Structure formats: structure tokens, C-alpha cells
Homo-oligomer: A and B are copies of this chain.
């Protein structure tokens, strides 16, 4: 066998010199600074929200574990299946998504898959990953109006009118690429079934579909609900706060990001830019000039 270098890493989780805790004083404000209720890690023990991890392995699904860590308790089986469906729905949207493209390029730069995935996930910002979260906020607003006595359809129409007056789009609706989003109906059907079974409250489904109807009124071109709207309904029905709608989208889309990074890495390209190498980015800058010849437009000391 080949010779091993001393650089073979130990277990990823092995701290360097974790002797048994010393009898030195434990500064409580220091350990409290890193307090958490999510997990307790002691020698030989890993509790996740109080459950020994060995109880969860093989007993609880990955989606149920995601719920447990984020919410503190396990979901009902029906809740777990709804969460699962939403996570499956958003896993990928192809290389024209900047999060996917950036991860694919990263995979050609001599980085680990973790760096490529991190690159893609980092791009799921307010504009590229935030619509689900913002739609959940809109649904919550409609529900607040209903709780104060407003008629849902009226509230929806008012909200649509407000957005249109400011030239804004309602997050979760419309899609420049998809005339209809194939992920909408399967997700809404699952929510509807859960509501019918008493497994989901129903308010977000009602609010979301009311918005969809209000958007369709008097328009020739539909403004269909898209993946962000559909998952916003699911996550709202499941009781997640809007910001975690973004977090769950991140977990889902990480799957596509990893897959694309792996496919690119397996392809063997190196230092892959956005275009085939024969193409040169168009140039819109100054004509060539000389630092020492002002007549060329050069300024050895310039002013902005």
C-alpha cells in the first residue's frame, strides 16, 4: 500500500487534546456565551433536543430531524410529509440560476465540494432566495387583517391594488420563465388534503389562493402562483416563521447546488468562466490611453 503522510486528518470532530475536563474553574459566563438548547455533546453522548441521537438514527426521517432541530419537537407524520414535499419541490432550477452557476464554476477552481456548495448557498440572498420568506410575510399580513374582521377576498384585492399602485410584484406570484409553475398544484393539493384531515389549519392556503384569484381578476395574462408562493403556503401552514422559510429553501436548494458542483467537478474542466473561451467580454471602457500623454486621454494624476 502507499505510504501515508502524517497529514491524514483525524476525525473531523476530534478536538486536539480533549482530555477529561480539568478540575480548573469553569468560567460560567464563558460557557454561557456559547449556550445552546439544540444539542448537548458530552463524552459518549449526543442529545438532539433532548433525544439521544442513537434513538433517532433509523427511526426518524431526515425531514423530521430537520423539523426537530429547528422547532424543538418532532412533527406529526402528516406535518413531516408536508415538509418533505416542499423540500423536494425546490431542489433545483438549473445552471441559469446564479447560485448554481457560481457553484459549478467554483468546482473547477481546485476547491472542496463544501466550498462549492457554500459559494452557491451564499448567493441565495434577498433577491435570489428571499421571495418565499417575503410571501410568508404577505400571507401573515392577510391573516392579520382577517383576524381583525376583514373579508379575505377584499383584503386580497386591496393588497393587490396597493402593490400595483407602486409598481411592485407580490412575492410568490408570477414567473417570467414559467407561464405556470408545475410545482404549484402538487404542493397545494397536499396542503388541501392535510387541511381536510385536520392536520393543517388552512389559513395560509386560503390566503394564498385568495391572492391568486385577486391577481387574476381583470387580467388577460395570468399571474400564477410560483414555487415561492406554494412553499410559502406550506411553511406557513406548518407554523414556520418567515425567516425559516428562507432557511428551508436553503436546505432544499443545497441539494441541487451539490449535484451541479459534483457534475462539474466530474467533468474535469479547470478555471471555468461563464463563457466558452473563444468569447471575450464586450468592452465598454475608455479607448487605450497613455499615462504620460494627456492628449490620449491619459492623466498622470487624474480627478474623479
Contact = CB atoms under 8 A, between A and B. Distances in A.
A128 B12 contact: yes
Contacts of A279: 21, 26-27, 30-31, 96
Contacts of A88: 53, 56-58, 60-62, 65
Contact of A111 (B115, B131, B174, B258): B115
Q: Top 5 closest A-B pairs, CB basis?
A: A110-B127, A74-B302, A50-B286, A110-B126, A37-B285
A40 to B, nearest CB: 4
Number of copies of chain A assembled together: 4
Assign chain A's interface to a size class.
35 or more
Given A102-B106, A262-B243, A84 B112 contact: no
Given A34-B282, A38-B256, A75 B302 contact: yes
26 contacts: A1-B145, A8-B168, A10-B270, A12-B271, A15-B96, A16-B277, A18-B277, A18-B278, A30-B30, A31-B280, A40-B94, A40-B283, A42-B280, A44-B178, A47-B285, A50-B297, A55-B292, A56-B89, A62-B62, A62-B84, A69-B91, A95-B273, A115-B115, A115-B125, A117-B247, A251-B251
Contact of A168 (B4, B46, B66, B281): B4
